[in-house]
Amino acid sequence: MLHRLHCVRHCQITAAALVAACCSLLPSPVPASTLAMADAQVSEPKQFDVPTMDLNARALSSASRLGLRLTMPRVAEHHVVFLDVSGVDGDRDDLAVNGDVDFSGAGGGLGLFYTGLPDLGFMSTTLRVSAHREKSEVDTLLSISGRQGSIKSDLYSQAVHVLFSPRKPMHRSGLNGYLSVGLGHDRESRIIRLDGIPNDRLSVRDSRFNGIVEAGVVYPMGRFRFHTVATYHEEWSLSLGLRYRLRGAAGTP
């Protein structure tokens, strides 16, 4: 009888240790707000009249993203559709393992700019709605109580923004800026696998709403627009990028 109780107690301790080890290995959620590229849209003549392509690099506290956006010409006067694709690489040094833990992934999304909002004084206003998804996984091999572990994340983000930009450039060179405020709904699903088998007990699902603030400047040069943007949504990030007008007048506004 004592031997049986000892075995039961040993199994409970082992299970508790396994749960604790797995929980300690869970990476903190990557803020889903960063799945969308920086908008970098400022008021200028014929802003959405031609297709454009954006290349954007974003730096976060523990990761970096490289994204590509294709923005189509406006349709039905006020509606502009865009498509995003991106890749992410990063590492974590706050897990209960020796050394850094690397992760990587890819994602994409789509969105809509609506330019029919009334202007506010000297500021133009644009509405933006978007939805994005990104899948990532820990690249580093993990050992959890003698078993091989892996972590995969599936991130979803939906957001609504309002962009404000001066109708006239802030500088005679054409330099202009914008401020964006919005609300994001982020959902994350993290799947833990032990020896290749999903463990539902240790997997995590999370859903949250957060405010979003973004501000940036855009400098025109011929067909190009260079931009620098700071974004806050659960954490700060900095984006650098350029936009190329695929057709239309090459002169700066």
Q: What does the pLDDT look like over 23-71, one tens digit per residue?
A: 444 444 444 446 889 999 999 888 899 999 999 999 998 889 999 999 9
DSSP code for 31: P
Rounded CA gap, 62 and 59, in Å? 8
Q: Which residue has the higher pLDDT, 185 or 2?
A: 185
Rounded CA gap, 65 and 136, in Å? 12
Instruction: Yes or no: say if 225 and 253 are a contact pair by the CB < 8 Å rule.
Output: no
CATH fold, domain 2-245, is Lipocalin (2.40.128)
Q: How far is CA 82 from the centre of its chain?
A: 16
DSSP code for 70: E
Instruction: Yes or no: say if 240 and 218 are a contact pair by the CB < 8 Å rule.
Output: no
pTM strictly above 0.85:
no
Cα–Cα distance list, 137 to 103, 115, 124, 161, 244 (Å)? 5, 38, 41, 29, 32
Residue 75 has pLDDT above 50, yes or no: yes
Domain boundaries, the chain: 2-245
